[in-house]
Chain A
């Protein structure tokens, strides 16, 4: 209930998802392995959090082939950027009003 009042986004109420979105805010796109190394996660863990963000429409998943190797890369969607910025604003406001 609190989340609604404070404009905090439940999709970002998790360190991994917060990390994914932060990285995508300052990088145009990032591939799976880079993201995995950056956040120090297992394949499955990263994939499940990405899927959650993709379902919200915050992350765009791009699959392509580089030579014969499949390469999956992620980027933040416009909605994702907007939602993340609103989440940041809400966090800052919460702390300022104390």
Chain B
């Protein structure tokens, strides 16, 4: 009888682990979150430095449609793109490392499903942010990026670690608060993409990655 019990428990464990493994992308690493947060904070300080520098006053940046591209928004677009690019490259690096360690394929069907699920809301939010930029409504960009990003990862959390949904809720909350407190967008952006990512990444690393290291 004892033998039978062990067999049944093993079967249930097998089922549970197979369901999880086959429907969730589990190669996300907490370290990716920490690095993304650090990049965002560096990007934030560069942006603040740019605004405070003698090159242009904030007034000129916001209202100076005559300034040439780089003097106007260009610097900030490149700054944000660098943060995004570096974060993605880092995430790729740590995920492929984790996949190798867990002996799984990085780009399996769960990876594609996760990316697709996130790509749709992120593209919509990205385009909308850009449109607001074109209209000169800079103040709404940070609330929008935070809300769309939060929504995207909240929805995507069922495709990966459940904990990701708390990061999503945090980003959405910050986005909504920043929408009431217009004009401090950059600060909220740094809190969301910088500080929240670092806290989340550290917690995830502590919970899932540390033991295996």
Contacts and interface: CB of A to CB of B under 8 A. Distances in A.
Interface of A: 15, 18-19, 22-23, 25-27, 30, 34, 37-38, 88, 91-92, 94-95, 98
B212 interface: no
Nearest to B24: A26
Interface in B114-147: none
A98 B14 contact: no
B5 interface: yes
Interface SS of chain A: helix
The 4 closest A-B pairs by CB, nearest first: A22-B18, A23-B22, A26-B23, A22-B15
Contact of B18 (A19, A34, A37, A91): A19
Give the contact-size bracket for chain B: 10 to 19
B9 A18 contact: no
Given A95-B5, A98-B5, A23 B12 contact: no
Interface SS of chain B: helix
Contacts of B101: none
A27 B123 CA distance: 25
A30 B22 contact: yes
From B8, B9, B15, residue with most partner A Cβ within 10 Å: B15
Given A15-B14, A92-B12, A94-B8, A30 B109 contact: yes
Contact of B19 (A15, A23, A34, A94): A23
Contacts of B15: 18, 22, 88
Nearest to B2: A98
A41 to B, nearest CB: 13
A34 B22 CA distance: 9
Given A18-B15, A34-B108, A37-B105, A27 B23 contact: yes
Contacts of B21: 38
A18 B11 contact: yes
A22 B21 CA distance: 10
Contact of A22 (B8, B14, B105, B108): B14
A91 B12 CA distance: 8
Contact of A19 (B9, B14, B109): B14
A37 B105 CA distance: 8
B22 A38 contact: yes
B8 to A, nearest CB: 5
